Amino acid sequence: MSVQKIQIFDTTLRDGEQVPGCKLNVDEKLVIARQLELLGVDVIEAGFPVSSPGDFEAVKAIAAQTKEITVCGLSRAVEQDILTAAEALTHAKRPRIHTGIGTSESHINFKLRTTQEKVLERAVEAVRLAKRFVEDVEFYAEDAGRTDNTFLARVCEAAIKAGATVLNIPDTTGYCLPDEYGAKIKYLVDNVRGIERVTLSTHCHNDLGLATANSIAGAINGARQIECTINGVGERAGNTALEEVVMIMRQHPYLNLQTNVNSKLLSEASAMVSHMMRMPVQPNKAIVGANAFSHSSGIHQDGVIKHRETYEIIDPRDVGVLDSSIVLTARSGRAALAFRLQKIGYNFDKSTLDKAYASFLEVADRAKEVHDKDLHVLVEKENLLV
Ligand code: KIV
Ligand code: ZN
């Protein structure tokens, strides 16, 4: 099978920024947009222009100040939303309007209080209207994860006929299992007329911790765009984490799925977004967490010191981390202590190391972590140099 290009659609500045406390001003959004462009994402969803004057300005500024990248603005299937998105995107080199409507029973019955036929009509009208302003129109079927596949296929077919270039299949509530979401994408590939003319996109939320797995299942089954955010920021439990899907495709080349992302910039992008959004990254977060490349138990440390690949599937330098770290705790063994002591200039014979290790364990039982400065004190206190 030939290698398939997966477009990375970053929605950190739209779905990610909806999180309480994560609001960004126009300047901060611009800085992140430039970083995303450097990173190599294909599409930036810059905001939801009708939602506030500030968001309108941010989308406008990003549209005007980015170069080759596609800049996208969100709108509901509402005339004023679409007109405002079109206006904000006027100066974009590659503008995209992202418009759509809820398609699941609960969205139709409880939120929209309408019928399937009316939803179909509104979908078509929205795509047609957006198409008057931009060539590239992405249609989203909100809550597609819980939408009956037959109706979803009808909506997708109608959106394609109306001129959509991208079809977004959001698992808005993070409900699907990977097999189910993958099968949904496959069903659309097999049953929607005209599907070969458009790009199918995943947009998964993480309510059950499955956003990344679902996005990859979608790509394996024919989606060619993944919507995601840096650090997985987003509503409730968040969105698919960009760094995770990128590294999964990279670490599993037999999937034949490739992105343009320069993975060496992932850790920098993560730190920037975390800082600007005032949203700490959990230490055990895959790829970009502080502990992602640190080893603290004796068995693991011994293995990594002998050969990095025993306990690391990713070379930390591939994601912009200088090196793995060996953290000294009461669970560390002699090998890790000797390794750390050597790094700071002490080359002890076996009996001196035994003495150092006994004293180290006493210190380590009192402290959460033993740092280099503690080791210097220990060497001096125990007279290990004489
Ligand atoms: O989760 C979702 O359904 C969305 C749409 C607005 C694309 O964010
Ligand atoms: Zn979303």
> 79 CA distance to ligand 1 centroid (A)?
18
Ligand 1 binding pocket includes 102 (Cβ within 6 Å): no
Query: How many C-alpha atoms does 349 have within 13 Å on its Cβ side?
Result: 3
Q: Which of 111, 172, 181 to mutate to test the pocket of ligand 1 (most atoms within 8 A of CB)?
A: 172
State both tokens at 289. 């967490």
pLDDT at 320: 98
Q: Which ligand is nearest to the CA of 168?
A: 1
pLDDT tens per residue across span 14-35: 999 999 999 999 999 999 999 9
The predicted structure's pLDDT at residue 67: 85
- Residue 383: φ, ψ to 5°: 55, 45
Which residues contact residue 154 at a Cβ distance below 8 angstroms, ignoring those fewer than 6 apart?
A: 120
Beta carbon of 9 within 6 Å of any ligand 1 atom: no
The answer to whether the CB of 170 is under 6 A from ligand 1 is: yes
Percentage of the chain exceeding pLDDT 70: 100
Q: Is 140 in the pocket of ligand 1 (CB under 6 A)?
A: yes
Ligand 1 pocket: which of 12, 139, 142 to mutate (most atoms <8 Å of CB)? Answer: 142
- 122 CA distance to ligand 2 middle (Å): 20
**How high is the pLDDT of residue 322?**
93
Take atom 7 of ligand 1 and give the residue whose Cα is closest.
Answer: 140
- Give residue 103 CA to ligand 1 midpoint distance, Å: 12
pLDDT of 126: 98
CA-nearest residue, atom 1 of ligand 1 = 172
Q: pTM value?
A: 0.95
103 lines ligand 1 (CB under 6 A): no
> In terms of residues, how long is the chain?
386
The model's pLDDT over 286-339, given as tens digits with 9 standing for 90+, comes to 999 999 999 989 999 999 999 999 999 999 999 999 999 999 999 999 999 999
**What ligand is nearest to the CA atom of residue 238?**
2
Q: Which ligand 1 atom is nearest residue 15's CA?
A: 8
- The pLDDT confidence band at residue 52, using thresholds 50, 70 and 90, is very high
- pLDDT above 90 covers a percentage of the chain that reads 98
CB of 28 closer than 6 angstroms to any ligand 1 atom? no
Residue 386: pLDDT over 80: no
Q: Is 309 exposed, middle or buried (0-12, 13-18, 19+ CB in 10 A)?
A: exposed
Cα of 336 from ligand 1 centre, angstroms: 47
pLDDT in tens, 89-108: 999 999 999 999 999 999 99
CA angle 219, 240, 251 (to 5 degrees): 55
**pLDDT of 244 over the 80 cut:** yes
CA of 16 to the centre of ligand 2 (A): 8
Is the beta carbon of 171 within 6 A of some atom in ligand 1?
no
Complex ipTM: 0.99
**Would you state the pLDDT for residue 1?**
77
Mean model confidence pLDDT for the chain = 97
For residue 14, which atom of ligand 1 is closest to its CA? 8
Backbone angles phi, psi at 9, to 5 degrees: -105, 110
| Tens digit of each residue's pLDDT (9 = 90 or more) over 142-189 | 999 999 999 999 999 999 999 999 999 999 999 999 999 999 999 999
- Both tokens of 369, joined, read 């972590």
